Structure 1
Amino acid sequence: MGGYVRHCVVLAFGVLGLRAQVVVNEVMPVPPTGEPEWVELFNTADSAVALEGWWIADLKSMVQLPALRLPPRGYAVLTRDTTALLEARAIPPEAVLVELRLPTLNNTTDAVVLRRPDSAVVDSLFYSMRWGRAGVSLERRLATEPAHASSNVQPSIAPAGATPGAVNSVTPLPADFALAGVVVRGLPPRLEITVRNTGEQLPQAASVTLWIAREGQWQLRQQWQLPVLFPGEQRTVGEELGSLFSAQEMGRRYRYRAAVTAAEDQRRWNDTSEGELFASAELLPVRINEILYEPHPGEPEFVELVNLHRDTVDLAGWTLEDASGRLVRIGEGIRIAPGQFAVIASDSTITTKHPQAKTNLNTSTNLMLNNDGDLLLLRDPNGVVVDSLYYLPSWHDPFLSGATRGISLEKLNPALPSAAASSWSSCGAPEGATPGLPNSIAVPLSGGGEVQVAPAPFRLHAGQRAYCLVQYHLPFRQALLTARVYSEQGELVRTLAHVTYTAAEGSLVWDGRTEQGEMVPPGAYILLLEARDRESGREYRSRSLIVVTQ
């Protein structure tokens, strides 16, 4: 029977060169739950046709159509249960809806055949579910071409997964512009919107509009005019997130709506895209704050994050990556309030010893930290690196003499550069770690002023590690920073930063040692801080006194 139907298709279209007036145009062999199977017929001509006494068949059975008149360029949808279909689908009122004992369509391969009252084949559509997927209809791309291969029988691309009683979503139209994609990528992060002319007519101009939802209201953010696009041509427009969002808006999630508008566009459902984007900030202050890479047997590894932002940060979709490329993806519900912490652990047993870690806990067996050092990359949902470091066992306090199992690495202050070894030392808490709590060795930074140093005076003791923290506030949004420590005689003692990219606020650390690693003697030292504005080139210079005692 299957060979006979396929032979009839070739005869109808190939040998005689005839084109059927009524065609099998769309089928739903594997509908979603609650929706019945259905078949759509399409009248390709400009005149009506009466289908009374015609037959609809598959490879095993057939049923006769009732009295039915299909209007010019009109559609008929055949199903076993019209009530259920209307509950599941929005059928255009001009479409003819027919309830009958439709042959059961196979979930693998089958053919739907339309026959005249004398059983002569008018048209047929052969399908394989390998061409599509469950819950999505198979549509005929061109009604004028045979429907026996995936080149002309394709899965619906309509948002609803089907187009019963309407133009097929895969059928080309004379005028059709489609919004093909919306992505955020690059550094600085850039929003990119791609538009394609999927129509067949002569070129036409179009525009792209972007709205962002703020406090429940859609706000127009940007509009771009597209050049003339020929059929099949596409163009990408976009802008840096720093231009679309203010500094106060960065580091948050937003709903967006992007739309392409073109004159005489005949298909509207593919003109708009809505979704969620993360406004990546180049220097978003979420930092890696504590690392336990070598726990006691039976205890989990962990990495602690801290939020230095003024607002709560939603970490859903963020990732932590190691040197091997292994990813830990942070799930929904992990939101860090300002000054608070999130813990990424290899399993949930961390809360047995550290119950405070359960507040913002994300567990993943992919967290496998190397004991001899490893790379950690913290990325936002757009893949932008927010923080990074390569930790080493040598970051531990040397007085531990390598006995560091079960002891975490803690930052001296969360605002310090994560990649600097001088920002880290061994946890001093009896438990050996403080996930979800302020670090046991944390040194507060002084408040007020443009440049502050703490502690004052800076006490150094032979055989002990001590740190002087420098907190600065620059008059520039982004700058290149150089910071050096000089003796009273003007000799260079230590370079803390050399043409380093920084935000307006930041911190540095000095361990009281020279470039050669020698402890400086007591006395007065000068911190010279110089910054150049990244945009204007303007310069800022500050001198601070550091008094070293014993």
Structure 2
Amino acid sequence: MIMLFRMISWRVLNISCIIYLNLIILSKKMSANMKYLSLILILSSLLFSKVILTEIMFNTAADENQDEFIEIFNNSDSTVDLSGWSFKDSTENDLLIKYHGFTDMLLKPFSYCVIMDSSYYLNSIEYEDLIPDSVLRVMINDGSMGEYGLSNSYSETIKLFDPDSILTDSCRYIYTQTEGYTYERSSYIEDSWERSLVIRGTPGFRNSVMPLDTDLELYSIAKPAVIDPAGNNTFTVKVHNKGLSTISGIRINLSINGTFYNFADHAGSIASNDSAFVDFTVFFDNSGTQELLFDAEAENDSELNNNSLTLSVFVPYIEKPLVLNEFMKNPAAGQCEYIEIYNISGEPVNIGDFGLSDEIKTTVVFFPDSLIQPHSFVVMAKDTTIFAFPDVIRQNVFIASNLPALNNAYDKIFILTKDSQAVDSIYYDDVDDDAGRSIEKINTEFNSDDMNNWHYCVNDGTPTRENSVYQEPEDIGGSAHFKISPKTATPNDDGENDNLLIAYQFDSSYIYLTMKVYNIKGQLISKPLNGEYSASKGNIVWNCKNDNGMTVDTGAYICLLKAKDDNGKVVELKEAFYIAK
């Protein structure tokens, strides 16, 4: 560090000598006008300044009568006797004198001196834990810094004079900065100042804003505009050299969710006050919110507190992990609105990555961070009356008074991710206004955005439990055909076999599907599917109602399923079933 100061000092001195010689020549040419000579003498004294102002405490959070201080620095390789030195604010000049217990006022090369208020010694210990014992202290010859203490209501200029009353340095501090922080010099060469980074400042040692010899900063991280959950993602890390020396051998380490992932090296060096960019390629093994920690390494780095940055990244799910399963839109007295979701995946899911919203989408209410286990139900409820329902699993319920109000006649419910992507949704309308009964999905695997897959709860509601109207379709195996279950449907709203489930599978990737229901007389009763493009495998729910919305009579019926593939091939399948009461 001393060698660095010496290099800076001699460099400034050489420049100063050249300027000074030119100024002498200029002064001889202007000897007829003495005002120019006076200006030259002032400029030359500044150029040869050895002692500089480095820190000013003018707005202490402690006692302003005794805890103000000024710090100076000997920016040369020779000792300076501070006897006869003084400083001045706007109006008054204060002479520096020996501090209690000090035998001299000798400021060693490249060393600090703290100028204390004369009343500090007997009345305060504010800086005793900060000022190193080896640092020279001096004090002023009267009872206050400047005329009435250093102002914290307007800006002032502090001037430092040598024993010959020659100005050696000056600083105009900005009074508006935060109480308890000092005004610090940020360069030994340039006249640049900033607010200290630490409260009470740094009396007697390196300023908090002063650059170190070696100081690598991890400045920023640029993430991809879109995160690819199934491919590589490039993150660009910007590192900045805040120090005075050139830095090489830089390595960036990356940890994901606390586990080391990989590292990347920067080939080359970074000059002082310069920056470089390092690309990081990341393939995410997991979906949801991932916590990334980037950490920079460099040999002899003197400041490690600025070497790390964290970044939260939401990795989209390739397959949706959550689905809507039940909702209460029109609660009876003593009930509340609620929405139930179901973990359809085979892994635990952090539901804190997801929120619920209605059709307006002005408010998305997110779940708190919590793991929902595979094939489990979680409920967001408007208030605590949710616990009045029987057998509610309390730990699977989250109360949110700001849950969007559901319209009784029509509305849309969304599960949204943190990046505003819709995971699942349902649009409901033209349903009975049956107060006090929730609307349940017949099977969690079925498409949510098809009202044929939903039915009113048999009783009132089943939050956190299997739906009362749940039905499981039959396994159709691997051949191209379909199966109906149950063989006898009983649409009496008791929750048992109220709907007809048709499971189908065909060989083609996509099919054009038609489904019609006929009675034994061959009369067309209903068209549950009147020509829709569909995946090759799926399920259809028929609510046992005709096209006029009336429940069909008891008896035997024929289901006709017709599928046309993208090559024009048509497959027609028929199966009989019964309707009973």
Give a deviation string over 1:476-498, Cα, whole Å, max 9, x none: xxx9865735679xxx9837874
Give a deviation string over 1:205-231, Cα, whole Å, max 9, x none: 9775433357xx5232x7487999998
Q: Are 2:543 and 1:522 equivalent residues in the alignment?
A: no
Match of 1:218 among 260, 284, 306: 260
| Unaligned stretches of 5+ residues in structure 2 | 1-38, 100-104, 117-123, 518-526
* Aligned equivalent of 1:442: 470
Whole-angstrom CA distance in 2 between matches of 1:483 and 1:226: 58
Q: Closer, same or farther in 2 for the Cα pair 1:238/1:299, shift >3 Å?
A: farther
Give a deviation string over 1:299-344, Cα, whole Å, max 9, x none: 4322112112222222235332332411213224x33122222221
CA contact (8 A) 1:453 1:468 kept: no
Q: Closer, same or farther in 2 for the Cα pair 1:273/1:115, shift >3 Å?
A: same
Structure 1 counterpart SS, 2:356: strand
Q: Closer, same or farther in 2 for the Cα pair 1:100/1:203, shift >3 Å?
A: closer
Q: Closer, same or farther in 2 for the Cα pair 1:50/1:515, shift >3 Å?
A: farther
Whole-angstrom CA distance in 2 between matches of 1:99 and 1:525: 103
Q: Are 2:323 and 1:287 equivalent residues in the alignment?
A: yes
Match of 2:540 among 509, 533, 537: 509
Matched AA of 2:173: F
1:180 positional shift: 0.6
TM-score when normalising by structure 2: 0.60
Give a deviation string over 1:389-441, Cα, whole Å, max 9, x none: 243232x4xxxxx3322322222222223333233222222xx2222112221
Matched AA of 2:254: L
CA contact (8 A) 1:182 1:191 kept: no
Q: Closer, same or farther in 2 for the Cα pair 1:175/1:83, shift >3 Å?
A: closer
Whole-angstrom CA distance in 2 between matches of 1:406 and 1:364: 20
Q: Are 2:363 and 1:326 equivalent residues in the alignment?
A: yes
Q: Are 2:215 and 1:180 equivalent residues in the alignment?
A: no
Structure 1 counterpart SS, 2:485: coil
Q: Closer, same or farther in 2 for the Cα pair 1:48/1:392, shift >3 Å?
A: farther
Structure 2 counterpart SS, 1:351: helix
Q: Closer, same or farther in 2 for the Cα pair 1:302/1:74, shift >3 Å?
A: farther
Matched AA of 2:470: A
Matched AA of 1:436: T
Q: Closer, same or farther in 2 for the Cα pair 1:210/1:72, shift >3 Å?
A: same
Whole-angstrom CA distance in 1 between matches of 2:428 and 2:236: 44
1:195 positional shift: 3.0
CA contact (8 A) 1:140 1:153 kept: yes
Q: Closer, same or farther in 2 for the Cα pair 1:456/1:177, shift >3 Å?
A: same
1:448 positional shift: 8.6
Whole-angstrom CA distance in 2 between matches of 1:392 and 1:522: 29
Identity %, equivalent residues: 15
Q: Are 2:386 and 1:350 equivalent residues in the alignment?
A: yes
CA contact (8 A) 2:491 2:544 kept: no
Match of 1:494 among 519, 522, 529: 529
Whole-angstrom CA distance in 2 between matches of 1:473 and 1:447: 14
* Aligned equivalent of 2:110: 72
Which has the higher mean CA deviation after the structures are superposed, 118-127 or 334-343?
118-127
Q: Are 2:464 and 1:433 equivalent residues in the alignment?
A: no
* Aligned equivalent of 2:284: 245
Whole-angstrom CA distance in 1 between matches of 2:268 and 2:503: 52
Whole-angstrom CA distance in 1 between matches of 2:115 and 2:539: 71
CA contact (8 A) 1:377 1:385 kept: no
Alpha carbon RMSD of aligned pairs, Å?
A: 6.1
1:30 positional shift: 8.2
Structure 1 counterpart SS, 2:440: strand
Match of 1:389 among 421, 425, 435: 425
Match of 1:420 among 450, 458, 465: 450
CA contact (8 A) 2:74 2:110 kept: yes
Whole-angstrom CA distance in 1 between matches of 2:563 and 2:200: 65
Matched AA of 2:406: N
Match of 2:309 among 273, 283, 287: 273
Structure 2 counterpart SS, 1:522: strand
* Aligned equivalent of 2:501: 468
Whole-angstrom CA distance in 2 between matches of 1:46 and 1:350: 77
* Aligned equivalent of 1:9: none
CA contact (8 A) 1:141 1:172 kept: no
1:463 positional shift: 9.4
Structure 2 counterpart SS, 1:349: helix
Give a deviation string over 1:244-280, Cα, whole Å, max 9, x none: 133xx334x5543224568998865434324655543
Q: Are 2:436 and 1:406 equivalent residues in the alignment?
A: yes
CA contact (8 A) 1:23 1:123 kept: yes
Q: Closer, same or farther in 2 for the Cα pair 1:457/1:233, shift >3 Å?
A: same
Q: Are 2:489 and 1:456 equivalent residues in the alignment?
A: no
CA contact (8 A) 1:208 1:226 kept: no
- Largest Rg, 1 or 2: 2
Whole-angstrom CA distance in 2 between matches of 1:473 and 1:50: 95
**Map of 1:174-213 to 2, 5 A cutoff?**
178-181=218-221, 186=226, 188=228, 193-196=235-238, 198-199=240-241, 208-213=252-257
Whole-angstrom CA distance in 2 between matches of 1:106 and 1:100: 18
* Aligned equivalent of 1:311: 347
Q: Closer, same or farther in 2 for the Cα pair 1:403/1:255, shift >3 Å?
A: closer
Give a deviation string over 1:54-110, Cα, whole Å, max 9, x none: 789999999978567465387989994567669xxxxxx999698999999999988
Q: Closer, same or farther in 2 for the Cα pair 1:85/1:177, shift >3 Å?
A: closer
Matched AA of 1:511: W
CA contact (8 A) 1:342 1:436 kept: yes
Which has the higher mean CA deviation after the structures are superposed, 278-287 or 440-449?
440-449
Q: Closer, same or farther in 2 for the Cα pair 1:43/1:498, shift >3 Å?
A: farther
Q: Are 2:75 and 1:45 equivalent residues in the alignment?
A: yes
| Unaligned stretches of 5+ residues in structure 1 | 1-11, 87-92, 397-401, 532-538
Matched AA of 1:180: S
* Aligned equivalent of 2:120: none
CA contact (8 A) 1:445 1:453 kept: no
Whole-angstrom CA distance in 2 between matches of 1:339 and 1:137: 59
Q: Closer, same or farther in 2 for the Cα pair 1:427/1:144, shift >3 Å?
A: farther
* Aligned equivalent of 1:5: none
The count of corresponding residues between Structure 1 and Structure 2 is 483
Which has the higher mean CA deviation after the structures are superposed, 415-424 or 74-83?
74-83
